[in-house]
């Protein structure tokens, strides 16, 4: 079955209802971060690497300083490694220093300084995981892709009553579900909305089901007998 060709995707949940409810909520609850103001591939790539296992609030000042010092792939590729380290070390995970530097050099060498849109090309770059490749396609190029991390898997698992394991991010069932509901006119906004819902409402512990725009669709909320508020 091609999920993109159907209206109802699972448990009689309507794809349009899911996306509409989510995006309506997000319009009034979106979080503001500097990388969300840009669709420039280089800026998105830097943000995604810096955000790895790091809170967004911590990344903001480092991200802004990084772009001020290294405003392009070309500049970054030629910068002394120690200069890059001086900026990135503040976030910990010091491996990101060489990763960003090597990535820039590879892009200059293999792609003439242009970050590719093709997913296989993106994943061929040093340190670009499936998640970062999907994030690049969505946030830089507004293309439909399955953006799955622990937080987004949590939303899908709860709404569709699916068992969540450590490997769910790579599970084809979760990928197809995301592709089905995420095929909207603006995949970029949909992905941001999913990220914000996981951060603000669908928490790992004590989720705020009564405030959730998906409450009426969610099997987890139904089982928990949560009282859902109607989103406008």
> Would you give the DSSP letter of residue 13?
E
Q: What is the mean pLDDT of residues 45-67?
A: 94
CB 78 within 8 Å of CB 102: no
Q: What is the mean pLDDT of residues 131-151?
A: 94
**Is residue 3 predicted with pLDDT exceeding 50?**
no
CB 190 within 8 Å of CB 19: yes
* CATH class for the region spanning 3-31+144-223: mainly alpha
The more confident residue out of 14 and 159 is 159
SS3 210: helix
**Closest alpha carbon to 34 in 71, 62, 69:** 62
The more confident residue out of 230 and 98 is 98
**Is residue 5 predicted with pLDDT exceeding 50?**
no
- Provide φ and ψ at 88, rounded to 5°: -80, -25
pLDDT by residue (tens digit) across 142-184? 999 999 999 999 999 999 999 888 888 888 889 988 988 877 7
In order of 2, 25, 44, 69, 227, the CA distances from 8 in angstroms are 12, 21, 33, 48, 24
For domain 40-139, give the CATH superfamily: Hypothetical protein; domain 2 (1.10.340.30)
**Is residue 229 predicted with pLDDT exceeding 80?**
no
Write down the pTM of the prediction: 0.88
Please report, for the chain, the start and end positions of each structural domain, with discontinuous segments joined by +.
3-31+144-223, 40-139
Mean pLDDT of the chain: 89
From CA 120, how far away is CA 138, in angstroms rounded?
A: 15
């Amino acid at each position: 079955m091609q999920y993109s060709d159907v209206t109802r995707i699972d448990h009689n949940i309507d794809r349009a209802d899911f996306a509409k409810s989510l995006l309506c909520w997000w319009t009034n609850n979106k979080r503001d971060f500097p990388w969300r103001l840009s669709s420039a591939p280089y800026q998105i790539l830097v943000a995604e690497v810096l955000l790895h296992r790091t809170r967004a609030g911590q990344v903001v000042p480092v991200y802004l300083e990084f772009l001020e010092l290294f405003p392009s792939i070309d500049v970054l590729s030629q910068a002394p490694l120690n200069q890059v380290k001086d900026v990135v070390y503040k976030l910990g995970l010091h491996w990101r220093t060489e990763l960003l530097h090597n990535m820039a050099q590879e892009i200059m060498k293999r792609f003439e300084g242009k970050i590719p849109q093709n997913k296989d090309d993106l994943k061929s770059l040093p340190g670009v995981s499936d998640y970062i490749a999907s994030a690049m396609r969505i946030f830089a190029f507004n293309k439909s892709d399955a953006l799955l991390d622990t937080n987004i898997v949590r939303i899908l698992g709860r709404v569709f009553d699916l068992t969540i394991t450590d490997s769910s991010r790579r599970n084809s069932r979760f990928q197809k579900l995301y592709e089905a509901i995420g095929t909207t006119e603006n995949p970029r906004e949909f992905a941001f909305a999913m990220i914000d819902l996981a951060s603000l409402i669908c928490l790992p512990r004590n989720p705020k089901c009564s405030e959730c725009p998906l409450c009426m669709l969610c099997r987890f909320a139904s089982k928990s007998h949560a009282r859902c508020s109607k989103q406008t």
